[in-house]
Every structure is written in structure tokens, then in C-alpha cells.
């Protein structure tokens, strides 16, 4: 059997490799080359794509949407500090009598079992209405009201003599409201509201229904009298004996 001599140039590229003679020589050369146990070429050389090693991705955590906080409860409007502001449709109850009225728009108001109050935001004007179980003794009740709200200078005896006849009456509900104005001209001494200045007091007795008699006061300082006094006059005429 003929063998093909294989010559390796050993770094000398000028020496030609001896030619293989015949098909037998080519076969022998292939057999020798396969016996060298060369490793397989990398997959990148052969064009094959090695399978990627995949790791299971962790399952996403459930997303819980943050719930908004519940809205605060509506104010009870039992204290002026709650800053409840009157609108055109506000119905302010007068104590537990069942009667009500609409305070001047934009004024702060509060109500309790004893009565109701509405105050201008800067404190220069106010209204107070209370149920009156005994309308025959108005003067002492008015004196207590003005004292509690910081109105000074009221001459109770002079007011009492004037209460036999109302200075003015206006329609209110099914009945009327009687009014008396008190200022320096009526009693010889000016009235004042704390540090807000001098002003005019309005005393009112309302009978919006036969079963309801209400007692109240209004007060405006001189600085806002022209704008706020008409609002009080309009408000007292909204008195109603039924909700």
C-alpha cells in the first residue's frame, strides 16, 4: 500500500509541501489529520448558535394602588372657629325652635341649642338670634347678649322705656319682626364693639310664626355701617318658622 508523505514546512513557507500521489495519498492524509484529536471549533466559527442559558425571572410583585385618605367630615358649624361661611341658600337654625334665617352672604356663622350667631369675617358686624320663651322681658335679655359679645355702652333703662312700641316692623315669614335702633342719638352715649370702634345696635323681636318668638340683636360699626346694615335688614326678613 502506498503512503503519501506529508511534509510540514515548520515555519518555512518557501519549502513546498510534497504532493500527494493518487487518491490513496489523499485518503491517508485525511486519516492522519483526523487522528490529531483537534477540539471542535467554537460554535461562532461554524455559524451555529449556542443555546442561551435562561434564568427564570422573578414574578412581579402585585402592585397595590395607594387609596386616597377619606375626606374629612363636614363641619358641624357649632363654633365660629370652624369658619362656616354663609351662602345664598344657607338656612341657619335658631336654636332648637325649628325657626331659621339666612345670614348675610360670606359671613361666618355657628348654631347651638341656645341660639345662632353670624359675624362679618373681620368682626365689624354681627347678628344674634335666640328663642325667646318670655318676650315680655326683652331689656335684660338684650343686655346679656351685648355683654357676651363685647358691646359696651348700652343704657338698659332707656331701652326698656322704648320697647312698648316698635320703631319699625317688617314682614318675616307668616308674621313680622319688630326693630329698634340704638345709638348715641337715642341714649346720649355711643356704643362700641371691643376694639372695632363705635357703632349702632339693632334690637329685634321676630314672630315668623304664631308658635315662634325670637329675640335678637344686630350690630354694625360706623366703618361698615353703610354696607353691612342693609344686609342685616334683609337677613331678618328671611326669618321663617318652619324648615
Give the model confidence (pLDDT) of 44-87 as tens digits. Answer: 445 555 555 555 666 776 766 788 888 888 899 999 999 999 99
- Quick check: is 71 in a domain? no
pLDDT digits (tens, 9 = 90+) for 160-218: 999 989 999 999 988 999 999 999 998 999 999 999 999 999 999 998 888 888 999 99
Same domain, 113 and 28: no
Q: Residue 222's domain spans which residues?
A: 80-236
Distance of alpha carbon 124 from alpha carbon 227, whole angstroms: 11
- Quick check: is 138 in a domain? yes
CB atoms within 10 A of CB 152: 13
Note whether 201 and 154 are within 8 A (CB): yes
> Could you give the number of structural domains in the chain?
2
Nearest to 201 by CA among 139, 126, 134: 126
How far is residue 239 from each of residues 1, 105, 171, 214, measured CA to CA in Å?
135, 15, 9, 9
pLDDT band at residue 36 under the 50/70/90 scheme: low
- Quick check: is 105 in a domain? yes
Note whether 231 and 121 are within 8 A (CB): no
- Quick check: is 189 in a domain? yes
Distance of alpha carbon 86 from alpha carbon 146, whole angstroms: 22
- Quick check: is 61 in a domain? no
- Quick check: is 64 in a domain? no
- Quick check: is 73 in a domain? no
pTM of the model: 0.70
Is 34 buried (19+), middle (13-18) or exposed (0-12) by CB count in 10 A?
A: exposed
Amino acid at each position: 500500500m502506498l503512503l503519501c508523505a506529508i511534509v510540514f514546512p515548520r515555519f518555512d513557507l518557501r519549502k513546498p509541501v510534497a504532493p500527494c500521489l493518487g487518491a490513496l495519498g489523499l485518503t491517508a492524509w485525511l486519516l492522519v489529520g483526523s487522528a490529531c484529536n483537534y477540539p471542535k471549533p467554537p460554535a461562532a466559527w461554524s455559524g451555529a448558535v449556542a443555546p442561551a442559558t435562561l434564568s427564570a425571572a422573578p414574578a412581579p410583585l402585585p402592585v397595590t394602588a395607594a387609596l386616597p385618605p377619606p375626606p374629612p367630615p363636614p363641619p358641624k358649624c357649632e363654633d365660629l372657629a370652624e369658619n362656616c361661611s354663609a351662602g345664598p341658600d344657607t338656612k341657619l337654625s335658631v336654636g332648637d325652635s325649628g325657626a331659621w334665617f339666612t345670614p348675610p352672604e360670606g359671613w361666618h356663622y355657628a348654631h347651638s341649642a341656645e341660639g345662632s350667631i353670624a359675624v362679618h369675617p373681620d368682626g365689624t358686624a354681627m347678628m344674634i338670634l335666640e328663642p325667646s320663651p318670655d318676650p315680655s322681658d326683652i331689656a335684660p335679655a338684650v343686655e346679656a347678649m351685648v355683654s357676651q359679645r363685647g358691646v359696651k355702652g348700652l343704657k338698659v333703662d332707656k331701652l326698656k322705656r322704648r320697647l312698648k312700641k316698635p320703631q319699625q316692623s317688617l314682614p318675616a315669614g307668616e308674621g313680622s319682626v319688630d326693630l329698634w335702633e340704638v345709638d348715641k342719638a337715642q341714649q346720649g352715649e355711643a356704643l362700641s364693639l371691643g376694639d372695632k370702634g363705635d357703632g349702632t345696635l339693632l334690637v329685634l323681636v321676630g314672630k315668623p310664626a304664631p308658635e315662634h318668638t325670637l329675640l335678637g340683636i344686630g350690630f354694625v360699626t360706623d366703618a361698615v355701617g353703610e354696607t353691612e346694615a342693609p344686609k342685616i335688614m334683609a337677613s331678618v326678613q328671611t326669618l321663617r318658622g318652619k324648615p
